[in-house]
Amino acid sequence: MPINLGLLRFQGVGLAHHSISCYNERKKQEMERRKGGTEMSKIELRKAETGDEKVLAHIQTESWKSAFGGILSPEELERCTDIQKAEAMYKRVLERGSVHMTIEFIDQKPHCIAGWSQNRNDLGANTAELICIHSLADKRHQGYGSLMMEHVLNEMKQAGYSEVVLWVFEKNITAIKFYEKHGFVLTDRKQEAHGAAEIMYTKKIRNRLIKRKSSRTI
């Protein structure tokens, strides 16, 4: 039975095998400079597992509420942030394993989630899709989303992908600036989702193409 991934979208601004520490010194120093030299929080990224659906659903729905009030209609936003439906969706996603989901913890508290897979637009076996990246509003604009972005891009590189695409609401200017900061460029593709216009962005992530068999399961 196909999973409805309609709510899994790259909009919130916002696999290692076990736990990944992001405490490398260079990143720590960068973030401390941005925060005026204050001590950096403890950051951990780990692969989402069965049982994490409540965490994933909470971060996604809260992110949508804080980011899309001026983009989606009140009725559509309420429908898309139904916590029980979001939990059920993520439960199916985790059980099926077709989307690589990561959770970022700040001082042991979940803050950001991201998910990617083989692209869903028939763009070829070497193109991945960043389906979602969502974060809670209280710690946005502090560099945590950039760490998550670097992490998932590295995952795609290690998996052999040469390009990544994403869809973003055309009116989500904050998110668009974030993606462009990380090297994504606008394409001519456009579609409608949840009563609003979405545009596609793309980014090259490898210099050398590695031929790989399509693993589309979505």
| Distance, CA of 80 to CA of 177 (rounded, Å) | 24
Establish if 14 belongs to a structural domain.
no
Please report, rounded to a whole number, the percentage of residues in the chain having pLDDT higher than 70. 76
Could you give the number of structural domains in the chain?
1
Q: Could you read off the pLDDT of 53-99 as tens digits, one per residue?
A: 999 999 999 999 999 999 999 999 999 999 999 999 999 999 999 89
Cα dihedral 147, 152, 158, 161, rounded to 10, equals -130
Q: What residues make up the domain containing 106? A: 19-204
Q: Which backbone phi and psi does 168 adopt, to 5 degrees?
A: -140, 145
Phi, psi of 28 (to 5 degrees): -60, -45
Asked if 200 contacts 187 with a C-beta cutoff of 8 angstroms, the reply is yes
Q: How far apart are CA 196 and CA 76, in angstroms?
A: 10
CB contact at 8 A, 142 and 28? no
Q: Is residue 59 a contact partner of residue 53, using CB atoms and an 8 Å limit?
A: no
Read off the pLDDT band of 121 (50, 70, 90).
Answer: confident
Q: What are the structure tokens assigned to 57, written together? A: 């659903």
Is residue 212 in some structural domain?
Answer: no
CA distance 210 to 45: 27
> What does the alpha-carbon distance between residue 149 and residue 13 come to, in Å, rounded to a whole number?
11
Confidence of residue 190 (pLDDT cuts 50, 70, 90): very high
Q: Are 53 and 87 in contact (CB under 8 A)?
A: yes
Q: What is the CATH number of the domain that holds 97?
A: 3.40.630.30
Q: Cα–Cα–Cα angle for 23, 102, 10, nearest 5°?
A: 115
Q: Is residue 214 part of a domain?
A: no
215 within a domain of the structure (yes/no): no
For the cut 90, the answer to whether the pLDDT of residue 174 exceeds it is yes
**Residues 44-54: b if buried by 16+ CB within 10 A, e if exposed:** bbbbbeeebbe
Residue 198 in domain:
yes
Assigned token pair, 202: 């793309």
pTM: 0.81
Other CB atoms closer than 10 Å to residue 39's CB: what's the count?
A: 8
- Look at residue 120 and tell me if it is in a domain: yes
Please choose, from the candidates 132, 109, 150, the residue with its C-alpha nearest in 3D space to the C-alpha of residue 14.
132
Backbone angles phi, psi at 172, to 5 degrees: -85, 75
Higher pLDDT, 129 or 38: 129
Bridge partner list, 190: 199
